[in-house]
Structure 1
């Protein structure tokens, strides 16, 4: 009985790996450039990734699904709000509106609140607008002649504070120069605090319209000369008060900050899509 190894039909085969290294496109290019006398095929050029980027705004729509959660970014929402507020002011007074701004108000407990700020010839309006129901919920009216000071600077907190924020803000003071009472400072719902603090809205880069409306510098440049003009008016109630613009840190006197920590992380002060509740 013959063995398989001695069968004449089987020939020994050398299993040699016949894989040659293929030169890269860059290597081919350098080789061909080094041998000009050699007649070869068209040169292969290595392609480099494009470094050109097209941007519309300083921070384009890299997370568009996040911007859609804010009702203020929905088509027509901010335009409807402006028309509603313009109609309300026209019905109640003969003032001329100087401009609209969409900002975030920071109260004395460091809570963020979405606000529309209006400046007229004689009045500063701070409006709480419901962008879900498209209606004005609250409007605070401050005569420009009563504004005594504007501060622009970075936020600072007490050394023992546990909930701090970065960035810059704008604080507007009115009435007398005294500090709020102890009861007002420790009451998170107090409406007797004689100042308002603002910072830029988180959706400032979602569109060209909001980009212009969320600029604090735009509000400051419009507000300062309008206040100075109101103070020069001899019939104004605050014509004898000194008005100052200061560049200094803005103190937010909070320590534990548990309420603001929960509220700001969940954006409770904004008209926001919260998702479905149920199953």
Structure 2
């Protein structure tokens, strides 16, 4: 590093390499303050980041999944969805909904799908709801007395699986997994699957309202007694044996997982703002 000699009326200035475009806070301080070594109030203020700059240019890595991107968090969206499903159940099925939850369904190929789940006295309802157009796209109705097993535990994958997930979930069986056909098991778009797997929605911690409806423990606490009561009151042959609740790892049998790798990281299973496309 070279320096220019001092002349009368000029202070010595150090030359820096051209590629150093971001001088440190210490180097931006006046020479007199630097040489004094005093930690004055003005010195401390100078070291603090600009409040205006932080407000105008927030760090995008602080909130990787901003709540505003999810349409379900838009004002009135979840309330409209609940009211739509409640009205449909009461008018079309003559049942009363006992509880609503916003969960993430994990299908047999590890794809995440945003779901609105409801429990009535007799039925478990799994609703695919479009929070952009505010309309129900698909509704799956599962009789509670057909549910034979509920499994709670952490997700596990085959040893050679390339796409794995962390966390825990709940798997609800209304048929034996062994009875699932080979074609259905290896078809990523198959709906002929005798079970459903859920985990908590990403917006669980966005607000107190979503914390209540996205909590998987609350969903489990209401589902288990509802299924048990449905089995007790069922008059169908073969029913009334009760439901088995177990705690064990939940196997997701995927190996390559390319579709889920792309889909889950881009949140393709959620009603999400994708950004502007035009100019």
Tell me if TM exceeds 0.5: yes
Matched residue, 2:218: 218
Please say if residues 149 and 243 of structure 1, whose CA atoms lie closer than 8 Å, have aligned partners that are also in contact: yes
Q: Deviations over 1:155-198 (max 9, x none)?
A: 00000000000000100000346342111110001111100000
1:228-243 matched pairs, under 5 angstroms? 228-236=228-236, 239-243=239-243
Please say if residues 200 and 216 of structure 1, whose CA atoms lie closer than 8 Å, have aligned partners that are also in contact: yes
Please say if residues 230 and 236 of structure 1, whose CA atoms lie closer than 8 Å, have aligned partners that are also in contact: no
Unaligned runs of 5+ in 1: 1-16, 26-61
Matched residue, 2:113: 113
Q: 1:237 offset after TM fit, Å?
A: 5.7
Q: Which has the higher helix share?
A: 2
Please say if residues 233 and 240 of structure 2, whose CA atoms lie closer than 8 Å, have aligned partners that are also in contact: no
Q: 1:119 offset after TM fit, Å?
A: 0.3
Q: Distance in 1 between matches of 2:231 and 2:36?
A: 86
Please say if residues 130 and 271 of structure 1, whose CA atoms lie closer than 8 Å, have aligned partners that are also in contact: yes
Matched residue, 1:187: 187
Distance 1:65 1:142, change over 3 A: closer
2:148 counterpart SS class: strand
Q: Distance in 2 between matches of 1:213 and 1:238?
A: 34
Unaligned runs of 5+ in 2: 1-31, 42-61
2:203 counterpart SS class: coil
Q: 1:96 offset after TM fit, Å?
A: 1.9
Matched residue, 1:169: 169
Please say if residues 169 and 250 of structure 2, whose CA atoms lie closer than 8 Å, have aligned partners that are also in contact: yes
1:90 aligns with 2:90: yes
1:69 aligns with 2:54: no
Please say if residues 114 and 270 of structure 2, whose CA atoms lie closer than 8 Å, have aligned partners that are also in contact: yes
Distance 1:146 1:21, change over 3 A: closer
1:260 aligns with 2:222: no
Distance 1:150 1:278, change over 3 A: same
Q: Distance in 2 between matches of 1:238 and 1:259?
A: 39
1:150 counterpart SS class: strand
Please say if residues 231 and 238 of structure 1, whose CA atoms lie closer than 8 Å, have aligned partners that are also in contact: no
Distance 1:170 1:91, change over 3 A: same
Q: 1:230 offset after TM fit, Å?
A: 0.4
Please say if residues 146 and 238 of structure 1, whose CA atoms lie closer than 8 Å, have aligned partners that are also in contact: no
What's the TM-score, normalizing by structure 1?
Answer: 0.76
Distance 1:228 1:63, change over 3 A: same
Q: Distance in 2 between matches of 1:218 and 1:23?
A: 54
Distance 1:263 1:238, change over 3 A: farther
Distance 1:20 1:104, change over 3 A: closer
1:68 counterpart SS class: helix
2:191 counterpart SS class: coil
1:140 counterpart SS class: strand
Distance 1:131 1:238, change over 3 A: farther
Equivalenced residue count is 226
Matched residue, 1:250: 250
1:12-161 matched pairs, under 5 angstroms? 63=63, 66-161=66-161
Root-mean-square deviation (Å): 2.0
Q: 1:66 offset after TM fit, Å?
A: 1.1
